[in-house]
Chains A and B, each alone.
Chain A
Amino acid sequence: MIRHTLVLAGLLWAGTFALGPPYAVAAPAGEQTANDPLNSPRWGDMAKAFFDGQEVVFDPRISVSGPLVAEDSLNVPITVDASALPGVEEMIVFADFNPILKALRFEPGAAQARLGFRLKLQQSSPVRVAARTVDGVWRVGGAWVTATGGGCTLPSVGSGSPEWQERLNEVSGRLWARIDGGERLRMRVIHPMDTGLAAGIPAFHIEDIVISDENGRILSRIQPLEPVSENPSFTIDLAEAASGGRLHVSGRDNNGNRIDAWVTR
């Protein structure tokens, strides 16, 4: 029987709303976006921030799955899925009421247009994914996640422990053969993912993760931003089995520290 407040979340995020866009509802980017299925007063601003001058539509084939109520607002498990659409070239994830709106960008490439990860949420918010298809249209899906009142676990305070400095960018990962003949990659990277919103702590986050095959061919790419949880974990389904039974994970954080690891079954 436990109910904690998210002390760390409060420190990280409190009082930062002034940094976000204003609450005034701007004109939607297109006629079809006028009726936000999530009924968020922030949709107009989202449309302007991310899709200004581009075509954007709501599409029920795109889903965001996660808990209705976030048990731990610093680690909200989210799976975004646009795999029902053909020709997805790029996906972005954002949360209307987070002080930093955009959480990540994903280029599926040789993977399914589906990604599992964890997100920091300041308060109840729509969590949305937009997928850009080859025709240049952004298609948007989303879900509301309640993130105060139900929060119950202690925030992890990894950046306060000395351990992460020695293990920065260390990858724990594993591959699983999928019954559809593809390969599932799950991995966790050690990183504090500091948002830069807490006084005296600059933004420090992984900004690029590239998944390649053993011949160096780039298969997929994730570009996380500050709202992705500390020690980020990702689940990606590749369309084909990994040649040689292994994948290369490389990348860097915004301070230029490298990520470089092989992941096997």
Chain B
Amino acid sequence: MRRPLSFAGLLLALLIALPLAAQQRSSFDYGLVAQEIAPGAYVIVGLREDFSFDNGGNIVNTGFIVGRSGVIVIDTGPSRRYGEQMLAAIRAVTPLPVVLTLNTHHHPDHFLGNQAFPQDTLAALPETIAGIRSEGEGFNDNMYRLNGDWMRDTEVVIPARALSAGRQDIGGRDVEFLALGGHTAADLVVVDHDSGTVYAADLLFNGRAPTTPHADIPRWIAALEQLARLPARLWVPGHGDVSASLAPLHETRDYLEWLAGTMRDAAEAGMDMTEVFALDIPARFAQLALVDTEFRRSVVHLFPAAEQAALSGGRRD
């Protein structure tokens, strides 16, 4: 007599659960909330996760700055839907026009929402524009695979305006652009001098393991040194929570130095890449989200160069 009962129970549970799950998925609502972290300076904080069908790519921090006469948008998120919902979140705060839409670098979670914003406001550093042009379509294809239908109708829009470093008044706000690099070939940092907020994009991670597919670690560390000298009150990382202290800078730098040193030492010791995968990650990095996965990805990105240096050093032919 138990079997029919439990079967009925299962059916009932399915009848309740399935429509609920379907409803959540079909609404494709990222639930974006703009936090005002300083007067006129906003952040939309993403999840500390990897891309998935569940999060739709909402793993990134985006932001915007509201000046007297216009809005500066900092990154547009992973999809058209994200861009549209981000614009709606901006509209809930201010009716002022978007006067500048920035892509801090060419990784897909930072520019695939470009469709939602006025096309003549899109701007990025020249190497970022080149990166989106050459790799954007490939990124977009892969994002459809990773995030599923959240990506619907998302297309690559290449920013037309090439940005250069410097301090200027934009939309009635005192803003400075730093043209740095190391996470990718070009990483744009936006300093909002009116509020002392630094939008450091993916040069800075907080509580989440840094990613390295296009990384130049020495250049990245030099960029972090430059950032540390800024007169900042608030740090907005590309991934992870906003911070009022330099702790995320130190954490990012500590991890990158360990990563580079580990690759060098492993290569010099004659290890094979599969042996490097198995190395222990120090306990102090255990609190970084996704550190196990990101470490192994980074081995694939970074070990070949370290290995080649070690092998060439020993060559006698």
Closest to A4 in B: B138
Tell yes or no: B307 within 8 A of A by CB.
yes
Closest to A178 in B: B270
Stretch of B11-19, B23-31, B65-73, B296-304 lying at the A interface: B296-304
Query: Complex Cα distance A102/B300, Å?
Result: 23
B264 to chain A, nearest CB (A): 14
- For the residues of A in contact with B, the DSSP-based class is strand
Please, what's the 1-or-0 string for B305-317, where 1 marks a CB less than 8 Å from any CB in chain A? Answer: 0011011111111
Tell yes or no: A71 within 8 A of B by CB.
yes
Query: Complex Cα distance A246/B141, Å?
Result: 48
Inter-chain contact A72/B300, CB cutoff 8 Å: yes
Known pairs A1-B107, A233-B307; A71 contacts B274 (CB<8 A): no
Tell yes or no: B202 within 8 A of A by CB.
yes
Please, what's the 1-or-0 string for B285-297, where 1 marks a CB less than 8 Å from any CB in chain A? Answer: 0000000000011
Tell yes or no: B211 within 8 A of A by CB.
yes
Query: Complex Cα distance A54/B141, Å?
Result: 44
Tell yes or no: A47 within 8 A of B by CB.
no
Known pairs A186-B270, A187-B311; A4 contacts B300 (CB<8 A): no
Inter-chain contact A2/B312, CB cutoff 8 Å: no
Inter-chain contact A174/B311, CB cutoff 8 Å: yes
Query: Complex Cα distance A67/B142, Å?
Result: 19
A175 to chain B, nearest CB (A): 7
Most A Cβ at <10 Å: residue of B146, B214, B273, B311: B273
Number of A-B contacts (CB under 8 A): 115
Tell yes or no: A172 within 8 A of B by CB.
yes
Cβ contacts under 8 Å, A186 to chain B: 270, 272, 307, 311
Query: Complex Cα distance A154/B136, Å?
Result: 12
Inter-chain contact B59/A174, CB cutoff 8 Å: no
Inter-chain contact A3/B108, CB cutoff 8 Å: yes
Closest to A78 in B: B274
A181 to chain B, nearest CB (A): 15
Chain B interface residue number, banded: 35 or more
B4 to chain A, nearest CB (A): 33
Tell yes or no: B213 within 8 A of A by CB.
yes
Tell yes or no: B143 within 8 A of A by CB.
yes
Known pairs A77-B300, A173-B314, A265-B314; A7 contacts B239 (CB<8 A): no
B147 to chain A, nearest CB (A): 9
Tell yes or no: B269 within 8 A of A by CB.
yes
Closest to B312 in A: A172
Stretch of A20-28, A90-98, A131-139, A144-152 lying at the B interface: A144-152
Query: Complex Cα distance A87/B213, Å?
Result: 42
Query: Complex Cα distance A187/B145, Å?
Result: 36
Question: Which B248-285 residues sit within 8 Å CB-CB of chain A?
Answer: 269-270, 272-275, 277
Closest to A184 in B: B270
Inter-chain contact A66/B274, CB cutoff 8 Å: yes
Cβ contacts under 8 Å, A153 to chain B: 213, 300-301
Cβ contacts under 8 Å, B146 to chain A: 3, 149
Known pairs A1-B108, A77-B274, A264-B316; A172 contacts B308 (CB<8 A): yes
Question: Which B171-203 residues sit within 8 Å CB-CB of chain A?
Answer: 202
Inter-chain contact B139/A3, CB cutoff 8 Å: yes
Tell yes or no: B60 within 8 A of A by CB.
yes
Closest to B50 in A: A1
Tell yes or no: B109 within 8 A of A by CB.
yes
Tell yes or no: B51 within 8 A of A by CB.
yes
Tell yes or no: B54 within 8 A of A by CB.
no
Q: Which of A2, A77, A148, A187 is B108 in contact with, Cβ under 8 Å?
A: A2
Tell yes or no: B135 within 8 A of A by CB.
yes
Tell yes or no: A48 within 8 A of B by CB.
no
B313 to chain A, nearest CB (A): 7
Cβ contacts under 8 Å, B108 to chain A: 1-3
Query: Complex Cα distance A261/B51, Å?
Result: 46
Question: Which B76-131 residues sit within 8 Å CB-CB of chain A?
Answer: 107-110
Q: Which of B300, B310, B314 is A71 in contact with, Cβ under 8 Å?
A: B300
Inter-chain contact A176/B270, CB cutoff 8 Å: yes
Q: Which of B142, B277, B311 is A4 in contact with, Cβ under 8 Å?
A: B142
Inter-chain contact A77/B139, CB cutoff 8 Å: no
Closest to B202 in A: A1
A164 to chain B, nearest CB (A): 14
Q: Show 24 residue pairs from A and B whose CB-CB distance is below 8 angstroms, ordered by the A residue.
A: A1-B59, A2-B211, A3-B108, A4-B139, A5-B138, A5-B139, A5-B141, A65-B274, A72-B300, A78-B274, A148-B145, A149-B142, A152-B142, A154-B135, A173-B311, A174-B270, A176-B269, A176-B270, A188-B308, A235-B270, A235-B272, A263-B315, A263-B316, A265-B314
Which residues of A come within 8 Å of B, CB atoms? 1-5, 7, 65-67, 71-72, 75, 77-79, 116, 118, 148-149, 151-154, 171-176, 184, 186-188, 233, 235, 246, 261-265
Which residues of B come within 8 Å of A, CB atoms? 51, 59-60, 107-110, 135, 138-139, 141-143, 145-146, 202, 211, 213-214, 238-239, 269-270, 272-275, 277, 296-297, 300-301, 304, 307-308, 310-317
When A and B form their complex, which 5 residue pairs have the shortest distance between CB atoms, in order from nearest? A174-B314, A176-B270, A116-B272, A77-B273, A3-B142
